[in-house]
Amino acid sequence: MREELQYLWRKKRPQVLSALAAAAAEGDRSENAEYIYRKKQIAEIDRRVRYLSKRMDDLRIVDQLPADRHSVYFGARVELTDQAGKGYCYRIVGADEFHLEKTWISVDSPMAKALIGRKLGDKVTVVRPQGTAVFEITAIRYQEAGSE
C-alpha cells in the first residue's frame, strides 16, 4: 500500500497534472476531451490517495505469532472438512490482503469470523450465500512473519 501511495503521489499524479496543463492550454475546455479525461483521472488518483492514507493510519502490522497456537487467530492457516468429507484450507489475512486464488480470506469474512477463537476439532457453522454449512477444524498452522 505504501508503494502504491508513493507511486500515485510522486509519479502518476505529476504526470497527469502535466498532461492536464497541456490540455488546458489548447483552449476551450468545455469540448476538450483530453482535458475532461485528465480531470477525471486526477479525481480518481486523489480518491485513491485519500483511501490509502486513511487505511495506512488504521493498519497494524502483526509481526509475531500468537501465544496460543492451538486456536485460530489472525494469520492462521486453517484446514477444514465439510460434512461430505471435502477438505478446504484458508489463511486468515487483513481485509486489504485477501486473495481468493491463494485461498487467503479476509478477517472480516463470514468464514473467518466463524473460525476466530476456535480450536482443533471444533465444529463451526458458517452462513453462506448458498446456505448454512458446518465444518470441522482439522489443522491450525502459523508461519513466521515474512514467510509465505
Domains and CATH numbers, the chain: 2-58 (1.10.287.180), 77-141 (3.10.50.30)
- Look up residue 104 and give its three cell numbers: 487467503
115 dihedral zone (left: phi>0; alpha: psi -120 to 50; beta): alpha
Answering whether pTM is above 0.95, one says: no
pLDDT in tens, the chain (148 residues): 789 989 999 999 999 999 999 988 887 888 889 999 999 999 999 999 998 888 777 666 666 666 666 789 988 999 999 999 999 999 998 877 788 889 899 988 999 999 999 999 999 999 888 889 999 999 999 876 555 5
